[in-house]
Amino acid sequence: MFEEGTILKQRYGEENVFDLSLGNPIMEPPAEFHQELRNLAEHPLPGMHRYMENAGYAETRAAVAKQLSLETGFNFTMNDIIMTCGAAGALNVVLKTILNPGDEVIIFAPYFAEYINYVDNHGGVARILPAGEQFTINLGVLEPTIAARTKAVIINSPNNPTGIVYSEDSLHQLGEMLHKKEAQYETQIFLISDETYRRIIYDGLKYPSILQHHPRSIIATSHSKDLSLPGERIGYI
């Protein structure tokens, strides 16, 4: 991906090429991050270089749970959190867990291009739907698309690449529709929310949580954008 961008910039000029495929922050991480790395290098924790639990360090998961509880108003514990190799790893873990061959995953365009590969990795079939006006959730095309093999809907808010933040009302309507379709087909449909840009919001917008709108909601996120740490691959479910 990055190599292709370099080639195109050489061919057409750097000022004429804009990479909207993914966010690769040019800002440096906070000073506190560098200081903590120095502290760990000078005063390593016992066993910090050994294998860890598959879900991640217990104290890390507990810290994430505490922060999420403050942000969302829901009571999370460390048992609700799984640390992953970035948001990409989080999405792959989720899809591997819930998909059987031939299960369908609905994605709204425009979308992060790798979603298609993630679904395909685990035997799923991606169904791409157009967004509504102003890139909102298009409930009109979603309803007839949901079928007996629909296993999940992936949303990304704030969206890459449009930046749209889905409103509380649109998420409520989405949750109601999923509940209706679950009853119709006697299935479970997961709502997967890629929230990598959750903490990068402007104009005083409020970020609504999906958790109060659908009981089978899963959040996949990372600190690649908000802390400018894409190379460290710090993500969680």
**Taking a C-beta distance cutoff of 8 angstroms, is the pair 189, 152 a contact?**
yes
- R_g over Cα of the chain: 19
Give the model's pLDDT for residue 144. Answer: 97
**Taking a C-beta distance cutoff of 8 angstroms, is the pair 237, 90 a contact?**
yes
Give the model's pLDDT for residue 166. Answer: 95
Give the model's pLDDT for residue 206. Answer: 87
The DSSP symbol for 94 reads H
pTM over 0.95? The answer is: no
Give the model's pLDDT for residue 212. Answer: 92
**Taking a C-beta distance cutoff of 8 angstroms, is the pair 211, 191 a contact?**
no
Give the model's pLDDT for residue 178. Answer: 98
Please list, residue by residue across 52-89, b when 16 or more beta carbons sit within 10 angstroms of its beta carbon and e when fewer do.
Answer: eeebbeeebbeebbeebeeebeeebebebbbbbebbbb
Domains of the chain: 31-51+82-236 (3.40.640.10)
Residue carrying the six token digits 């369908």: 104
Give the model's pLDDT for residue 20. Answer: 73
Cα 219 to Cα 20, 70, 105, 170, 175, distances in angstroms = 23, 16, 16, 17, 15
* pLDDT tens across the length of the chain (237 residues): 678 888 999 999 999 998 777 788 889 999 999 999 999 999 999 988 999 999 999 999 999 999 999 999 999 999 999 999 999 999 999 999 999 999 999 999 999 989 999 999 999 999 999 998 899 999 999 999 999 999 999 999 999 889 999 999 999 999 999 999 999 999 999 999 999 999 999 988 889 999 999 999 999 999 999 999 999 999 999
